[in-house]
Chain A
Amino acid sequence: MDTRKPIISIRDVTKRFAGTVTAVDQVAMEIREGEFFALLGPSGCGKTTLLRMIAGFEIPTEGEILIDGQDMSHVPPNRRPINMVFQSYAVFPHMNVFDNVAYGLKVTGVPKEQIRGRVEEALDLVKLGGFGTRKPDQLSGGQRQRVALARALVKRPKVLLLDEPLSALDAKLREAMQLELVRLQHAVGITFIIVTHDQNEALSMANRIAVMEAGKVRQVAAPAQLYEYPNCRFVADFIGKMNLFEGQMTGVAGERVVIEVTGLGQVLLAAGDEQVTTGGQVGIAVRPEKVRIERAQPGTDRVALRGRVSEVAYYGDVSYVFITDDSGRSISVNMQNEARSTAQRVKIGDELWCSWDPEDTLLLAR
């Protein structure tokens, strides 16, 4: 159990625009000190609005936002101990790098003698030491982002907010920046909150992730927990890939529930926290990497399905094999190309068995 204190408490916050559009709907959660926290969701889910409310650029219609124990819902952004790196970086074009980074210190009355030292320290932290006299139009996109980071971090805020920090970068730079941000967070030791629509970013960088949909928070958990134990279809589908089957609960066998799925027969699963009633419709799912393909029929301890290979999508390090059964249902299987010959072992038209351990099945009641 994490005993770190919550640095941000969001209490039943709702935000409505123009009286009709509800961007954020009764969101309640706590973000702990020192965490790397991610708000993840598709566009329009309210994550950016929530971030802006934490920063102070929007005021909640209902509910409160507490920062380090104090209600700051109505405190203007220039008086919150929080700083933000904007999606467009917003590096002031009419000032050079040094003045940009020094700006936040200057306007809050930090003595001049201290400013120079702190600015240089911040620039070194983001590996832009010596760039002080350059102007923003002489910098690349990635460099400007680091200026924005330095500018925010030099103020030593309690929380750093980042709005889609990697969306404007190309693939290679994005990978490098993911590691860089995590390194920075450890070096500085403060709480980072990022907003992203890219699940890979969230999974690789964050300690905990809040998955949002249509203004509501669906699940808040660590990446592994979200991936292996999603609490609803939306989360299971949004994070990673899955094969979904519709079934019906037909009974209980000891500590497990029995789900009847056409084509799969009976599946026995641990119910976990899910509320299912006998006779109710449930979804069960399995992730492609948990499925094994083989020519011989697997044992009865596994959930199995027989079908024909309909498509193979080759990605170099992995292949996605699509197997279609007699009823027309397709299941995708992730096949690691461990040896050069692996990919050639499976061809379109092959008749194969897919199977997985029932322990790896996801039970999705909603």
Chain B
Amino acid sequence: MAAIGIPSRNGAAPRRWRRSEPIGPLDYGRRLWLRLSVGAVLLFLYVPIITLMAFSFNDSRRNIVWNGFTLKYYEKALNNDSLLLAFGNSLTIALISTIFSVLLGALAAVVLWRFHFPGKPSYEGAMALPIVIPEICMGVAMLVFFARIGWPANMPWPLNLSAIIIAHISFSFPFVAMVVRARLVNFNRELEEAAKDLGASEWQTFRDVLIPFMRPGLVAGGLLAFTLSLDDFVITFFTSGPDTVTFPVKVYSMVRFSVTPEVNAASAVLIVVTIALTVAAMWLQNRAGKRNS
């Protein structure tokens, strides 16, 4: 390592003691003001969320000064029947819409990846529309649609959630298609050809070769669709009714009318669930990417 006070050779200037490597001209990642900006932005992004979660444990209605740790608002949230019902609805909707989204999205991805057909660019554009369109436009379209075709109301649970489910599928499956398509780009067609060469039929090749390869994309797409459905507000707001309330819609009305730590508790739960799912999705995709490439 560096030494202090040792006479140098050739009459050059004595060595200076440095704690670490000097910062080079392209070493931007080590410059102080860039590090501070990143820190400030991360702080800006996380402080509101973290304080919201922290204050869900605060024993005070006013929500600003810390008054002691308590779990009572979590208790209240758990005992709030309408909140629980809303959460149940959200989960059901998310589950069903995810299944259909993954199915439709996978099929769409395969078509776009494998086939060349007239009007393909327009088809791709149409597939991208639900992703690009402002949410409120889609919400309006769904509301108008179900009203004008006279979608039956007052159906038993879970059928009464069908309008919401259909709307969710419509906006999620293009996202799934996008994710699966990104995965398919890396597929080596020779695998398919080898299977056919060995005698497999079209369907068998699809089932035994293509689907296993697509799986990480399907899982990632599925988790994406699930999260999008669970978190959706605007589109659900337009397609839900007083008896088909979902969790975000319920939280919205709670926020609109009162600001209680109960809302914080409910929100904290939703945050944790969403983050856990996201991290799981990313970890799965990462692992599959490493294994297969």
Contacts and interface: CB of A to CB of B under 8 A. Distances in A.
A and B touch in the complex (CB under 8 A): yes
A64 B22 CA distance: 13
Given A17-B21, A58-B24, A77-B25, A12 B9 contact: yes
Contacts of B2: 61-62
Contact of A61 (B9, B22, B26): B22
A56 B27 CA distance: 12
Contacts of B26: 57
A258 interface: no
Interface string B9-50: 110110100101111111000000000000000000000000
A88 to B, nearest CB: 15
Contact of B24 (A16, A19, A59): A59
A61 B10 contact: no
Interface residues of B, number: 15
Contacts of A350: none
A72 B18 CA distance: 17
Interface in A129-176: none
B12 A64 contact: yes
Given A61-B18, A62-B2, A76 B25 contact: yes
Contacts of A58: 24
Given A56-B25, A57-B24, A62 B12 contact: no
Contacts of A63: 12, 15
B12 A12 contact: yes
Contact of B9 (A11, A57, A59, A76): A11
Contacts of A11: 9-10, 12
A62 B15 contact: yes
Given A11-B10, A12-B12, A61 B25 contact: no
Contacts of A17: 21
Contacts of A64: 12-13
A296 B21 CA distance: 65
Interface in A37-82: 56-59, 61-64, 71, 74, 76-77
B268 to A, nearest CB: 40
Nearest to B12: A11
A61 B18 CA distance: 8
A77 to B, nearest CB: 6
Contacts of B21: 16-19, 59, 61
Nearest to A61: B21
Nearest to A58: B24
A71 B13 contact: yes
B11 to A, nearest CB: 9
A102 to B, nearest CB: 23
A19 B23 CA distance: 13
Contacts of B24: 57-59
Interface in A95-119: none
A64 B16 CA distance: 11
Contacts of B9: 11-12
Contacts of B20: 19
A161 to B, nearest CB: 15
B30 to A, nearest CB: 12
Nearest to B20: A19
A365 B138 CA distance: 82
A64 B8 CA distance: 11
Interface string B129-164: 000000000000000000000000000000000000
A19 B25 CA distance: 19
A29 to B, nearest CB: 12
Contacts of A12: 8-10, 12
Interface in A310-342: none
Interface in B200-243: none
B27 to A, nearest CB: 9
Contacts of A57: 24-26
Interface string A177-202: 00000000000000000000000000
Contacts of B25: 56-57, 76-77
Contacts of B23: 59
Nearest to A66: B12
A145 to B, nearest CB: 22
A59 B26 CA distance: 11
A35 to B, nearest CB: 20
Nearest to A71: B13
A18 B30 CA distance: 13
A62 B18 CA distance: 9
B10 to A, nearest CB: 6
A56 B23 CA distance: 11
A71 B25 CA distance: 17
A58 B24 CA distance: 5
Interface centre among B2, B20, B23, B25 (most CB of A within 10 A): B25
A232 to B, nearest CB: 22
A71 B8 CA distance: 15
Nearest to A52: B24
A71 to B, nearest CB: 7
- Sorted nearest first, the 5 A-B pairs with minimum C-beta distance are A59-B22, A11-B12, A64-B12, A58-B24, A76-B25
Interface of A: 11-12, 16-19, 28, 56-59, 61-64, 71, 74, 76-77
Given A57-B25, A59-B24, A71-B13, 10 more contacts: A16-B21, A17-B21, A18-B21, A57-B24, A59-B21, A61-B2, A61-B18, A63-B15, A64-B12, A74-B22
Interface of B: 2, 8-10, 12-13, 15, 18, 20-26
11 contacts: A11-B9, A16-B21, A18-B21, A57-B26, A59-B21, A59-B22, A59-B23, A62-B15, A63-B15, A71-B13, A76-B25
